[in-house]
Amino acid sequence: MARRNSGLRFQPSGGSRAQALPVGKKQPLQIERQAGDGRGIAFEGGRTWFVSGALAGERVEARVLSARSQTVEARAERILQASPQRRAPLCAHAGRCGGCTLQHMPHGDQLALKQRTLSEQLSRLGGVQPDDWAAPLVGPELAYRRRARIAVRWDAQARHLQVGFRAEASQEIVDIQHCPVLVQPLQTLLEALPDLLRQLSKPQALGHVELFSGTQQALLLRHTAALSTDDLALLREFCAAQQVQLWLQGEGAPQADDPAQALGFALPRWQLELAYRPGDFVQVNAMINEAMVAQALDWLNVQPGERVLDLFCGLGNFALPLAQAGAEVVAVEGVEAMVERAATNAARQGLEQVRFFCADLARPLAEAAWADDGFDAILLDPPRDGALEVVRGISALAARRLVYVSCNPTTLARDAAELVRQGYRLRRAGILDMFPQTAHVEAMALFEKG
């Protein structure tokens, strides 16, 4: 989990050393405002308190999760005076499961929080604001997640196999059999999963379980010891009954129990199917992913025959629609196996004007032969660390238009400042609500040269 960074100035302690706060201590607090990650902020005892599950204006009783000299992380245990904006959580596990931390906040307020976080990061860290704010890309609040990792742990003392999601700010596993943010096929699968796993003969050898819903449903079981014949038979029987592919992962990469099985995900707007294997990166929200690709193509406004560079291309999520639009696409990814699958995806769709390369994108682009001829437009979709090394050499590629898709507004703001230094202007930006019920901010930004 990424470390939270609120960018706040802490309330001074008045020169006196604050007393130690034990974990578990309960404290009444008045919540003053909202942090960028959705937690409430309170000031008490010379410290700044970050309180999950609390809204601005509320009075709560909070339980200490951890404490340092100036800051306390806490969770709202009781709402003493509720905000008019508070709503009843949509899931019975809200407040315990660490996955969805904003269910008590109306969806419109969640969007406003994400918009404000993006704007503040661009201003504070990047010293820049867009000429135009795009409307948020939004979809359903629930039943949107097509991929999930289920935690599994054997409690030897209680002789109980825990199956669920990690608790907030803890390694504890919350037993869960229903998760309303999963797409419906995965909800059905999750409900039946704990009973299956508790029948296996070596529960202590089970790692995590990954569920995926695409062109087919799939279940990946990570195991640290060889499965017995009986256990394998149980798994196969379960997957056949659920109409789910079985994938297994021991020491190596995930392997399909039936090698003839095909698994992938679709981009219906372009009538494309992309092959996928558990462990590959894929956006978890299919509806927002499709809208995101469409918006990126619209903002880039690529014309037939233009050269486009797609960096951090993954399986071809952007590259294939760009090629279908008539662009000559150079697509680059750092994981060799995904490059191979992306090239196969393009070949199966008959898209010959896209070429895939494997490269370390933490190194300067000038060293790459595929960058020699320059580009008309560039698309970047980097991981949370951003793309600073790539951006530092971007002007040498002579692209006039650049779309940056970000899963971290902090690194987007940092990289935006570098692009501005190289003569680009931030024309448009907006949030993508890829993860409703969470404070996770995805964004898209359009930069133009001159």
- Residue numbers annotated as active site: 407
Total residue count of the chain as it appears in this document: 450
Structure tokens at 252: 């190596």
Residue type (1 letter), 402: L
SS3 33: strand
| 190 vs 196: CA distance, rounded Å | 10
Distances from the Cα of 58 to the Cα of 29, 86, 183, 450, angstroms:
8, 9, 33, 48
Cα angle for residues 88, 92, 97 (degrees, 5° grid):
105
| 376 vs 16: CA distance, rounded Å | 60
Residues 6+ apart with CB under 8 A from 293: 267, 269, 270, 317, 318, 321
Distances from the Cα of 430 to the Cα of 116, 124, 137, 415, 443, angstroms:
11, 17, 8, 16, 6
| 415 vs 88: CA distance, rounded Å | 38
Quote the DSSP letter at residue 317.
T
Handedness of CA 269, 272, 278, 280 (dihedral sign): negative
| 108 vs 403: CA distance, rounded Å | 26
Residue type (1 letter), 143: A
Write the DSSP string, 52-68. ET--TT-EEEEEEEEE-
**CA 214 to chain centroid:** 17
Structure tokens at 245: 């592919």
Residue whose tokens read 């390694």: 171
Single out the residue of 156, 153, 148, 191 nearest to residue 170, CA to CA. Answer: 153
